[in-house]
A and B are shown apart, each in its own frame.
Chain A
């Protein structure tokens, strides 16, 4: 490097590359961090839990240590009837999402409300907590925030799970893990394309819809319909069950893989699933030797298929 030209060159390189990094990293990051989270963003991060990819608590991506999302109409503490409420139940030991751990990422107003009225700083991972999303009118603007119902109303996780039924309990966080692990997002995007696409697949997301979510799994190579609002287009659990087991049952031209292996060993009634038998019967159906396709088993409550369907139906 004895050449004077190279000494200058190295400094020029540092300046050029540094400027580029300043513009493409520091400036966008300082812009994005000021964004206030929307209600959608709060619902997403609370239902997904801390991480949707590899993490300490779930190294093999089996959907462990994730919150349960419950729709309740009864106060878990008093038993009194309440307005239909969606609550996010974090059993003891389930890690909180980033909005609770680092309220700064919620943006100024939602952070102040979540800390003040919502008492989220009192939540303790070791004990578990129940969260709900609330809104407040701040100077004519509706601001969503997180309420730690364990601190404000004495709702404990066990009680909240008790007042919910099997139909009103959703394993959305576990389902997000399945969505990431099974690579659904290699074909189904979670971000509508520009302009005309919005009429077909719904409104594009807002700036604050993703605070606290990781990974966002937007996807880039769209070989299949966008799923941002799929739960609003198609809310049929039966259709989803058939579609995941073998997409060609409901859409003969689909190129989606079969996800029957997410059913596990037993169906919802506890009976072992005979996959080979099912496939043999299905082949007969395809060969026109049967009029109807074989019956698709209903996935068990703790199966991966059940969680994935919960996740997809809740993309609204």
Chain B
């Protein structure tokens, strides 16, 4: 990587930036899920590693969350953008060198920001926990260079039209810049009180709605047609998905604060708009599943499709929960409980992670021109992720329902804690499975780089999956 930092643009092999981003994202995924497993162990066994400030739950929780969001998910996005955007424009990445620098600065900036958080140097705002100097570095040193690279690659494309995936990439890189700048403005400008509280959740909502969800969906718009060979079922449904994300998904931020003393019109408006996120969700899921028609055996045989379609299917419970759990009729029962924790993991570890994992599997094989080292290990990774996640999700959903019942029936709080204990152990087991699966994944991808069978020109990696 370092030798390309000062190389001439034409001397850097195409796809270098994407490969570096790909491996970085897997490493951050291991870090993030490892921390998650450690934190979960503390919730199950409070005296596990105790008395050390740096290893206390309150210092580690936000490091887990942001390592996963900004390390794993966002770096996998950057990886996907750096090989999919040029591929769909029939061109090269606008600047491979900028991409390599972007990856380096991203890794350094994120490591620095997370270390500060680990020491307790925080803004005290959930999801925008990073202190404002790090926020500025994220905006101008990381997200802006990525966005410029994507926009310029789309601009210098050699096709006439722009494919669905690239609308999302171009728009989401723009929207995430706005979301980061506005969402962190309470720190830049010392905004206080309810404005600060509202903007915290405005950020938290929109970073999911305008960055993670649309980019993850955009990846599957590429992977499914590419690997199955089927054209996208409907361009128009893609339009419906795109425009309803921009119009509906950007508005319900206040539904995260239904119990706060915010203006009532804002909460009601957010709640109605929150149900309307079912429009992009249904458009997305139906479009992808219909694209699979005639190729469903690949859901079993092909590892990228297996990951992608599992992620797409998880979007169904995800959006059914997301659309309705924020209405007042349901929110009063489950707000602030483990149900929401389960839902957040369904979004990030279920839906989105499976789509990004497919992008990283497919991208690394294509860019390295090497066949996957071991399909068996990839399948093992898939099942560790799926079973681990499901264990987590089911146990946290049950814990959440217990908490909700305890809340409305005014059960003494400690009885709720006691009742939750078995589910805390189950969540720890599930999270640990995900972590171990990811360690296997890194080994598999590293061995693909070192010892994978070379893919002959003109063939696609998945065509060779069952050849010796």
Q: Which residues of A contact B (CB under 8 A)?
A: 1, 3, 6, 12-13, 16-17, 20-21, 23-25, 27-29, 31-33, 35, 41, 45, 50-54, 59-61, 98, 105, 180-187, 189, 191-197, 199-200, 204-207, 209-225, 247-248, 251, 253-261, 275, 279
Give residues 94-121 of B contacting A (CB, 8 Å): 119-121
Select which of A21, A98, A200, A209 is within 8 A of B190 by beta carbon. Answer: A98
Given A194-B259, A212-B193, A256-B46, residue A222 in contact with residue B336 (CB < 8 A)? yes
Please name the residue on chain A nearest to B336 by beta carbon: A222
Q: Are A211 and B193 closer than 8 Å at their CB atoms?
A: yes
A195 to B409, CA, bound (A): 11
The answer to whether A215 and B123 touch across the interface, beta carbons within 8 angstroms, is yes
Asked if B246 and A257 make an inter-chain contact with CB atoms under 8 angstroms apart, the answer reads: no
Q: Is B171 an interface residue (CB 8 A)?
A: yes
B335 A105 Cβ-Cβ under 8 A: no
Shortest beta-carbon distance, B90 to chain A, in Å? 16
Within 8 A of A (CB), among B233-259: 243, 246-247, 250-251, 253-254, 256-259
Q: Does B12 contact A (CB under 8 A)?
A: no
Task: Chain A residues near B46: list those with CB within 8 A.
Answer: 247-248, 254-257
A21 to B198, CA, bound (A): 13
On chain A, the residues within 8 Å of B194 by CB distance are 32, 35, 207, 210-211, 216
B178 — which chain A residues lie within 8 A by C-beta? 17, 21
Cα separation A41 to B47 with both chains bound (whole Å) = 37
Docked CA distance A191–B196 (Å): 15
Residues on A with beta carbons closer than 8 Å to the beta carbon of B251 = 20, 23-24
Interface residues of B in 304-336 (CB under 8 A from A): 328, 331-332, 335-336
Type the 1/0 row for B157-179, where 1 means its CB is closer than 8 Å to any CB of A: 00011100000000100010010
Q: A6, A21, A204 — which one has the most chain B CB atoms within 10 A of its CB?
A: A21
Question: Roughly how many angstroms separate A176 CA and B243 CA in the complex, as a whole number?
Answer: 43
Give Cα A224–Cα B341 distance, bound, in whole angstroms: 14
Pairs across A and B, CB under 8 Å, 24 listed: A13-B171, A17-B178, A17-B246, A25-B202, A32-B262, A33-B195, A181-B121, A182-B59, A183-B62, A183-B120, A185-B124, A195-B408, A207-B261, A210-B193, A210-B194, A210-B197, A212-B193, A215-B125, A218-B197, A222-B336, A247-B46, A253-B417, A260-B51, A279-B51
Q: Are B418 and A253 in contact (CB under 8 A)?
A: yes
Tell whether, in the assembled complex, residue A32 and residue B263 are in contact, meaning their CB atoms are under 8 Å apart. yes
State the Cβ distance, B182 to closest chain A Cβ, in Å.
7
- State whether B132 touches A54 (Cβ < 8 A): yes
User: Which chain B residues (266-317) contact chain A, with CB distance < 8 Å?
Assistant: 266, 269
Interface residue? B50 (CB, 8 A): yes
* B418: chain A residues within 8 A (beta carbon): 253
Q: How far is the CB of A211 from chain B (nearest CB, A)?
A: 4
* A194:B200 contact, CB within 8 angstroms: no
Q: Does B260 touch A at the CB level, under 8 Å?
A: yes
> In the bound complex, what is the Cα–Cα distance between A259 and B120 (angstroms)?
14
**Shortest CB distance A55–B (Å):** 9
- Chain B, Cβ-Cβ closest to A101: B190
Q: How far is the CA of A33 from the CA of B57 in the complex (A)?
A: 36
Which residue of chain B is the closest to A181 with respect to CB atoms?
B120
| B103–chain A nearest beta-carbon distance, Å | 27
Residues of B contacting A258 with CB < 8 Å?
47, 50-51
A24 cross-chain contacts in B, Cβ below 8 A: 202, 250-251, 253-254
Q: What are the 8 tightest A-B residue pairs by CB atom distance, in nearest-first order?
A: A183-B58, A53-B124, A180-B124, A215-B124, A222-B336, A210-B193, A181-B120, A194-B332
What A residues does B59 contact at CB under 8 A?
A: 182-183
Residues of B within 8 A of A33 (CB): 195
A3 touches B417 (CB 8 A): no
Interface string of B328-368 (1 = CB under 8 A from A): 10011001111011000000000000000000000000000
Residues of A within 8 A of B254 (CB): 24, 28
B11 at the interface (CB under 8 A from A): no
Cβ of B10 under 8 Å from chain A = no
A103 to B: closest C-beta gap in Å: 13
* Residues of A contacting B197 in the complex (Cβ-Cβ under 8 angstroms): 210, 216, 218
Q: Which of B41-76 contact A (CB under 8 A)?
A: 42-44, 46-47, 50-53, 56-59, 61-62
Decide yes or no: A28 and B337 within 8 Å by CB, A197-B407, A225-B413 being known contacts.
no
CB distance from A58 to the nearest CB of B (A): 10
Q: Whole-angstrom distance between the alpha carbons of A175 and B52 in the complex?
A: 19
Q: Given that A53-B122, A212-B193, A214-B190 are known contacts, is A182 also in contact with B43, CB under 8 Å in the complex?
A: no
Q: Decide if A28 touches B250 in the complex (CB within 8 Å).
A: no
Q: Is B191 an interface residue (CB 8 A)?
A: yes
Structural contact, A191 and B266, CB atoms closer than 8 A: no
Q: Which residue of A28, A45, A196, A212 is within 8 Å of B408 (Cβ)?
A: A196
Cα A13 to Cα B192 in complex, Å, equals: 31
Question: Which chain B positions have C-beta within 8 A of A60?
Answer: 119, 121
A210 B414 Cβ-Cβ under 8 A? no
Tell me the smallest distance from the CB of B387 to a CB of chain A, in Å. 24
Write the nearest CB–CB distance from B265 to chain A, whole angstroms: 8
**Cβ-based interface call for B155 (8 A):** yes
CB-CB < 8 A to B195: which residues of A?
Answer: 29, 32-33
The answer to whether the Cβ of B186 comes within 8 Å of any Cβ in the partner chain is yes
Shortest A37–chain B CB gap in Å is 8
Contact partners of B328 in chain A: CB under 8 A = 194
Minimum distance in angstroms from A166 CB to a CB of chain B: 26
Q: Are B407 and A3 in contact (CB under 8 A)?
A: no
Q: Which residues of B contact A191 (CB under 8 A)?
A: 259-260
Contacts of B253 in A (CB 8 A): 24
Given A17-B246, A200-B410, A214-B196, A193:B336 Cβ within 8 A: yes
Contacts A28-B262, A191-B259 hold; do A186 and B57 have CB atoms under 8 A apart?
A: yes
> Which residue on B lies nearest to A222, using beta carbons?
B336
Contact yes or no, B121 A61, CB < 8 A: yes
Query: Are A257 and B192 in contact, with the CB atoms below 8 A?
Result: no
Contact B260 A218 (CB under 8 A): yes
A247 and B44 alpha carbons, distance in the complex (Å): 15
Give 10 A-B pairs besides A16-B246, A29-B195 with Cβ atoms closer than 8 angstroms: A17-B178, A24-B202, A105-B192, A180-B124, A181-B120, A197-B407, A200-B407, A210-B196, A210-B197, A257-B46
Interface assignment of B463: CB less than 8 Å from any CB of chain A = no
